[in-house]
Amino acid sequence: MTQHAEAAYDFHHLDHVKEQSKSGKTLWIVLLLTLFFTIVEIVGGLLSHSLALLSDSAHMISDVVALGLSMTAIYLARRRPNSRYTFGYLRFEIIASFLNGLALCVIAVGIFIEGIQRLIHPVDVKFGLMIVIASIGFLVNLTLTIVLSRSNKEEENLNVKSALWHFIGDLLSSVGVIAAAVIIYFTGLLFVDPVISMIIGGIIFTGGAKILKESTAILMEKVPESFDLEEIRGELRKVEGVEDVHEMHLWAISTDHYSLTAHMFIREDIQPFCIILAANEMLKEKYGISHATLQMEHATIHPHGEYGRQFLLHRQEKHS
């Protein structure tokens, strides 16, 4: 093995990389179709004077940006860890999701503000062009939503999930535009266009807020919802030789890459290597956690202040 190859393995025995070939191909197809239809909708919205159509095209622009971020995240996730980024580049997936969620919320607020202005100052809408472009948009968005939904099921990814929420919003926008066009045609009530736009904006904001919440939780290194930290602590205590588990942390690097660290007081009569092996096997088999750092400690050698004194006192009482 060359010196360069040896150095590459100094950082981790587990590569923090994420191969997402299916997601990558899917996003490329979706990106190109979205870019094409975004141009069509912008032109159609300007010509028809429809706020609902323009709000949908604004959302489509955010989709193009979101998909670009998603593609960047998938590319970076394939890069291996190095001496500067020892966890690799997986976290960019979450940063991209955060930015996508933020974009959804900002666009929703913009749609709502414009909707209020249109209610105060109504604008004539050209029904024919509006309904044609909205119908095409509905078919395009329905197709892309189905494609992304299937991709998300095959390769779980918060990044793809955030892109999916963009297209769910687009699909609802298309339905709203069609509904607005039909109502305006039969009733002549121009206020329907901004009202439906504002309803669509509320739905978009809800999706964006959900993505923001999930991505922020990961960036703040919150314990993932699928894990119960106290339950895992209890299982580690059951490992033969473990007397106490403390200084325990569990967080997600990306949507399905987890890391755990813990300090454990152990019995002096059991080989620490055996305890580490048993604990790691339990974590991998029961919880799917394959990246754990476990520090073996003796309470008399590694003091932990009042916590350590209370532990030693409890152990003395237990054996007296």
**Are the beta carbons of 6 and 138 closer than 8 angstroms?**
no
Residue finishing a domain among 167, 188, 219: 219
Looking at the fold, whether 73 and 193 belong to one and the same domain comes out as: yes
Whole-number pLDDT of residue 154 = 62
pLDDT one-digit tens code per residue, 244-277: 999 999 999 877 789 999 999 998 888 899 999 9
* CATH number for the domain that contains residue 281: 3.30.70.1350
- Is residue 33 classed exposed, middle or buried when 0-12, 13-18 and 19+ CB atoms within 10 A define those classes? middle
Q: What is the CATH number of the domain that holds 80?
A: 1.20.1510.10
| pLDDT, tens digit (0-9, with 9 covering 90-100), for 92-125 | 888 888 888 888 888 888 888 878 887 888 777 6
The verdict on 213 and 234 lying in the same domain is no
Residue 257 lies in a domain: yes
Q: How far is CA 246 from CA 55, 225, 262, 280, 289, in A?
A: 52, 20, 6, 16, 18
Question: What phi and psi, each to the nearest 5 degrees, are found at residue 168?
Answer: -65, -40
Domain closes at, from 188, 219, 250: 219
Whether residue 236 is found in the same domain as residue 96:
no
Cβ atoms within 10 Å, residue 14: 11
Give the chain's domain count.
2
Residues 139 and 121 in one domain: yes
Contact 96, 77 (CB under 8 A): no
Domain boundary among 198, 219, 240: 219
Inform me whether the pLDDT recorded for 63 exceeds 80.
no
Residue 312 has pLDDT above 60, yes or no: yes
Tell me the average pLDDT of the chain: 80
pLDDT score of 1: 44
Residue 13 has what pLDDT? 45
Choose between 98 and 83: higher pLDDT.
Answer: 98
Q: How many residues does the chain have?
A: 320
In whole angstroms, give the CA distance from residue 4 to residue 176. Answer: 58
Same domain, 190 and 272: no
> Do 125 and 7 share a structural domain?
yes
39 plus 183 within the same structural domain: yes
Residues 238 and 270 in one domain: yes
Same domain, 202 and 236: no
- What is the residue range of 243's domain? 229-319
| 240 and 123 together in one domain | no
